[in-house]
């Protein structure tokens, strides 16, 4: 059976590596990677989003580390939240003693006395699970920034396994200043010694025999029991296809898509990502990779400091901060020019004491259309309509933007492996 894999991002390449001979990857860009891409500029390098390599899934973690080989370096997490001019350990509820005393009391009191009905949306869940103190200070403002939507319009399908769910013992210890660690599966992580996160993509691509780049999938049709995939100039014929490209792009390429399916797809919500690089001439390397900013007046929700990884990302004697901003067309942020958004980031970081404007020596902006899948209240209903149609015609979906699930890198790899094994079994 000849298999066609639409899309050469992390999911597509991983799927091809597990499937082996008899498959071909079609990638629209001149390089593979999708969201797992690394930007290089004048000796600086940073990723589209703060990618790190970790997982609760030991098999998947082992796979990623082995793919990188001697290019994998292990680090200990030291991420922080910036709250009222001080660093608070991530996750927030694991460092309540670091807050001003009034905040510590309020967070702990409301955590212990919370009594809310079963939640129907994410805002209600924040109160239900954490209480008013933690919810109002961190959970709600931070999540409304990253998701770019009010939390009472977010559903709950994505929460389990992604949002920390602290035991009472840990919260009590954290309020008293007793060291605890939440989210322990992220306590240690890996990152490439050279090449940024894209090194993982290159290592995977080297294992695959057939990757066709600059092939934009424009038409997909069924003909005489085979799938025909065209970029408008060239056609490829396959016995089976797996789509890892955004579900919108697949539907645009398919023939005779029912209007109710198109209507459901138009209702699926996503966020785009804007990464703003700010390099400075001096300063010591950061001992933190990521800092989270719940402050509503700042458009960026997270800043990653790539000097944490040393000379592979930053020239000697320089520092490199990359602010991440989610945006949607029409929200005002999306329409800002690169110059305007750079100015906002520099002003914000300077006001919070992270940089000096006079030391800034290089800037850059990278924009990614598809970054985060947003689980709004109608997510499940609309997604089921789309998936049912695509599966009814025999197309297999795999990956974050194809399955339309908020999957981390490790989950994309797990889905890819499981998909490949199923296809091989049905060969």
Pick the range with the lowest mean pLDDT from 65-69, 131-135, 177-181.
Answer: 177-181
Q: CA torsion angle for 49, 52, 54, 55 (degrees, to 10)? A: 10
CA distances from 89 to 83, 97, 218, 294 (A): 10, 10, 47, 13
Place 236 in a pLDDT band, splitting at 50, 70 and 90: very high
pLDDT at 183: 63
Helix orientation angle between 379-392 and 259-266, rounded to the nearest 10 degrees: 140
User: What does the pLDDT average to over 202-210?
Assistant: 96
379: CB partners within 8 A, 6+ apart: 155, 157, 268, 269
Residue 101 has pLDDT above 80, yes or no: yes
pLDDT at 179: 87
Contact 361, 280 (CB under 8 A): yes
pLDDT at 147: 97
pLDDT at 162: 79
pLDDT at 1: 77
What's the predicted TM-score (pTM) here?
A: 0.95
Tens of pLDDT, residues 329-357: 999 999 999 999 999 999 999 999 999 99
pLDDT at 92: 94
User: What does the pLDDT average to over 344-371?
Assistant: 97
Residue 393 has pLDDT above 70, yes or no: yes
Give the DSSP H/E element, type plus range, for residue 168: helix 168-176
pLDDT at 337: 98
CA distances from 239 to 3, 153, 324 (A): 6, 41, 41
- Name the average pLDDT for the chain: 96
Residue 186 has pLDDT above 90, yes or no: no
Pick the range with the lowest mean pLDDT from 134-138, 177-181, 196-200, 404-408.
Answer: 177-181
Tens of pLDDT, residues 144-166: 999 999 999 999 999 987 787 78
pLDDT at 180: 81
Contact 304, 50 (CB under 8 A): yes
pLDDT at 176: 95
User: What does the pLDDT average to over 397-425?
Assistant: 97
pLDDT at 184: 67
Pick the range with the lowest mean pLDDT from 125-129, 181-185, 402-406.
Answer: 181-185
Q: In the chain, what are the domain boundaries?
A: 3-34+53-66+192-267+378-425, 80-183, 270-374
At residue 64, what are phi and psi to the nearest 5 degrees? -65, -45
Residue 185 has pLDDT above 90, yes or no: no
Contact 306, 322 (CB under 8 A): yes
Supply the CATH classification number for the domain 270-374: 3.90.660.20
Query: Is 3-34+53-66+192-267+378-425 a CATH 3.50.50.60 domain?
Result: yes
State the DSSP code for 10: H
Which position has the token pair 């209903």?
381
pLDDT at 284: 82
């Amino acid at each position: 059976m000849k298999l066609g894999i639409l899309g050469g991002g992390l999911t597509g390449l991983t799927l091809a590596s597990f499937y082996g001979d008899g498959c071909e990857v079609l990638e629209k860009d001149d390089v593979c990677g999708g969201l797992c891409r690394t930007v290089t500029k004048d000796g600086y390098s940073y990723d589209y989003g703060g990618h790190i390599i970790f997982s609760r899934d030991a098999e998947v973690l082992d796979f990623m580390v082995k793919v990188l080989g001697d290019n994998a370096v292990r680090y200990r997490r030291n991420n922080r939240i910036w709250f009222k001019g001080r660093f608070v350990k991530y996750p927030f509820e694991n460092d309540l003693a670091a807050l001003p005393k009034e905040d510590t009391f309020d967070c702990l009191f409301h955590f212990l006395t919370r009594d809310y009905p079963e939640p129907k949306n994410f805002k209600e869940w924040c109160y239900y699970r954490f209480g008013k103190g933690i919810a109002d200070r961190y959970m709600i403002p931070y999540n409304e920034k990253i998701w770019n939507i009010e939390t009472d319009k977010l559903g709950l399908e994505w929460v389990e396994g992604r949002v920390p769910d602290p035991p009472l013992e840990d919260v009590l210890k954290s309020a008293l200043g007793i060291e605890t660690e939440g989210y322990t599966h992220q306590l240690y992580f890996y990152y490439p010694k050279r090449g940024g996160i894209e090194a993982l993509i290159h290592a995977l691509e080297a294992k695959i025999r057939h990757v066709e780049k600059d092939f934009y999938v424009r038409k997909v049709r069924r003909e005489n029991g085979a799938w025909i995939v065209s970029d408008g100039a060239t056609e490829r014929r396959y016995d089976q296809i797996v789509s890892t490209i955004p579900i919108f792009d697949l539907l645009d390429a398919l023939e005779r898509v029912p209007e109710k399916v198109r209507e459901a797809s138009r209702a699926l919500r996503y966020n785009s990502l804007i990464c703003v690089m700010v390099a400075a001439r001096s300063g010591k390397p950061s001992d933190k990779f990521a800092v989270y900013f719940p402050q509503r007046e700042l458009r960026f929700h997270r800043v990653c400091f790539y000097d944490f990884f040393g000379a592979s990302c930053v020239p000697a004697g320089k520092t490199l901060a990359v602010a991440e901003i989610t945006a949607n067309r029409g929200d005002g942020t999306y329409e800002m020019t690169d110059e305007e958004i750079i100015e906002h980031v520099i002003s914000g970081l300077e006001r919070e004491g992270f940089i000096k404007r006079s030391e800034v020596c290089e800037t850059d902006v990278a924009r990614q259309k598809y970054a985060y899948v947003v689980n709004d209240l109608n997510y499940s209903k609309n997604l089921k309509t789309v998936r049912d149609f695509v599966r009814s015609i025999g197309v297999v979906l795999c990956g974050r933007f194809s399955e339309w699930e908020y999957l981390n890198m490790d989950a994309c790899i797990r889905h890819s492996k499981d998909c490949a094994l199923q296809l091989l079994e049905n060969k």
